Amino acid sequence: MNIRKIISFFLQTVFVGFILIGIPIFLISLNNYLNLPAYHNVYYKSVGTIFIAIGLGAVIYSAILHLKTGRTTPLPVIEQPKRFIVNGLYKYCRNPMYLSEIFIFLGLFFLFGHLLLLLYPLLFFLIIHVFVVYAEEPELRKRFGEQYVKYTKKVPRWIPKI
């Protein structure tokens, strides 16, 4: 493993830690500081646990698909895709990893119940949507051409086609 891959892995780990742990802790603290409501209910916690489990399972599954293509990261900004993935969850949705992360963030809201945690998946979706539409998809279209265009016509961007 070369130094570039080690640095890339380290930066990704820090970034994911910040996204999954740092921001939610900040939002919970801000929610408490502003004295906003927090809902604590066993049913919400159960739903949250289920959402997080589904989200984590799908993220891990998608990451494994990316590793099988020879990439160390699924992020096209860090490492260009070597092959076009159309199997697994990518048969039903063009962005299963991002969608899975939204599931995790919704799960955090249900699990911890702090109102500001509900803003997190909404803001994350808006940011990711802009990134996907204006950066990621044009790059994939340029890289994979007609194959990607046909794929976008068959498979929806966000809501899985079952």
**pLDDT, tens digit only, all 162 positions of the chain:** 577 767 777 777 777 778 878 899 999 999 999 999 998 899 999 999 999 999 999 988 988 887 777 665 555 555 566 677 888 898 999 999 899 999 999 999 999 999 999 999 999 999 999 999 998 899 889 988 999 999 999 999 999 887
Show the tokens assigned to 38.
């927090």
- pLDDT number for residue 150: 94
Domain containing residue 89: CATH number: 1.20.120
Q: Is residue 143 situated within a structural domain? A: yes
As a whole number of angstroms, the distance between CA 119 and CA 115 comes to: 8
| Count of domains forming the chain | 1
Q: Is residue 106 situated within a structural domain? A: yes
Q: Is pTM, for the whole model, over 0.75?
A: yes
Q: Which domain holds residue 7?
A: 3-154
**118-135: string of b/e by CB count within 10 Å (b at 16+)?**
bebbeebbeebeeebeee
